[in-house]
């Protein structure tokens, strides 16, 4: 039987057995707006407001790490209007929340390929990462232009370079590959939540979430409240995570 990865062993639950690292696939913004006869971007703007509420609730719920799936490598297939609107929402969120995050002790980081993003957005991302680098109350990671297979492909390329240079000894280990991921240095998620009723993982953190618990809820993301998060955390805390040992 395969050994339990160190990352899985170290990803300990928080107070009262609650997950320490929660990852969320924030699905259903467009449907939420369409059901109300509104443009899809209205749902995305409402979803961004919901992120702010969840971020502020996490520390009191015992969550130290929050990773949210904001834009996938596949989302570029959406209409130009929606993609440009989403990018504008990301930029506006960073600008408006920079002061609050700095004051509230939130460290913000991004994962995913940045080369396809607008240079001004890239500058905003790098700026808030640098500004909040010393914060420790909550670690917020936002996945933009992220896809798990893309991340693994890029990590394999980095690992090959390190092998060639002698920085990594052959044969490489699981830890060597993990160190080449976008999430290097982050604990693995204990819990992955997907909203909107879909039951797919959609290429989100396939390596990191190998030992995570999953929770699928029919609630659309703009309606996902801190109260619902607390209820899911309570349920999850009752599960026993054996990591293949029993």
The answer to the question of whether 114 is labelled as a binding residue is no
Single out the catalytic residue among 75, 135, 150, 223.
75
The answer to the question of whether 73 is labelled as a binding residue is yes
Count of other CB atoms within 10 angstroms of residue 199: 8
Please state, in angstroms and rounded to a whole number, the distance separating the CA atoms of residues 66 and 133: 15
Single out the catalytic residue among 27, 176, 182, 188.
27
The answer to the question of whether 72 is labelled as a binding residue is yes
Active site residue 64: no
The answer to the question of whether 164 is labelled as a binding residue is no
The answer to the question of whether 116 is labelled as a binding residue is no
Contact status, residue 62 vs residue 17, Cβ threshold 8 Å: no
Active site residue 203: no
- Percent helix / strand / coil, the chain, rounded to 5: 45, 15, 40
The answer to the question of whether 135 is labelled as a binding residue is no
The answer to the question of whether 21 is labelled as a binding residue is no
The answer to the question of whether 76 is labelled as a binding residue is yes
Contact status, residue 79 vs residue 35, Cβ threshold 8 Å: no
User: Residues near 203 by Cβ (< 8 Å), separated by ≥ 6?
Assistant: 72, 73, 74, 147, 148, 149
The answer to the question of whether 20 is labelled as a binding residue is no
DSSP string, 154-215: HHHHHHHHHHHHTSSPSSPPHHHHHTTSTTTTSPPPSEEEE-TT----TTSSTTTTTT-EEE
The answer to the question of whether 31 is labelled as a binding residue is yes
Q: Please give the positions annotated as active site.
A: 27, 75
Q: Which residues are annotated as a binding site for Mg(2+)?
A: 27, 213
Residue ranges for the binding site for substrate?
A: 28-32, 40, 44, 72-74, 76, 78, 194, 200-202
| Residue ranges at the known binding site | 27-32, 40, 44, 72-74, 76, 78, 194, 200-202, 213
């Amino acid at each position: 039987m395969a050994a339990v990865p160190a990352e899985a062993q170290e990803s300990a639950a928080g107070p009262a057995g609650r997950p320490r690292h929660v990852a969320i696939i924030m699905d259903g913004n467009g449907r939420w707006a369409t059901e109300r006869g509104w443009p899809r971007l209205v749902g995305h703007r409402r979803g961004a407001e919901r992120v702010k509420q969840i971020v502020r609730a996490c520390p009191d719920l015992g969550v130290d790490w929050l990773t949210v799936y904001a834009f996938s490598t596949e989302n570029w297939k959406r209409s130009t209007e929606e993609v440009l609107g989403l990018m504008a929402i990301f930029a506006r969120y960073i600008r408006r929340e920079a002061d609050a995050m700095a004051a509230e002790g939130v460290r913000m980081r991004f994962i995913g390929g940045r080369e396809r993003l607008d240079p001004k957005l890239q500058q905003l991302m790098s700026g808030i990462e640098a500004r909040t680098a010393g914060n420790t109350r909550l670690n917020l990671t936002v996945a933009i232009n992220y896809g798990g297979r893309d991340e693994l492909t890029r990590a394999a390329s980095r690992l090959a370079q390190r092998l060639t240079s002698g920085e990594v000894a052959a044969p490489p280990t699981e830890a060597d590959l993990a160190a080449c991921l976008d999430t290097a240095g982050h604990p693995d998620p204990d819990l992955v939540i997907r909203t909107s009723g879909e039951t797919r993982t959609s290429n989100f953190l396939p390596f990191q979430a190998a030992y995570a618990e999953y929770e699928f809820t029919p609630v659309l993301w703009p309606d996902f409240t801190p109260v619902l998060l607390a209820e899911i955390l309570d349920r999850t805390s009752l599960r026993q995570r054996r990591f293949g040992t029993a």
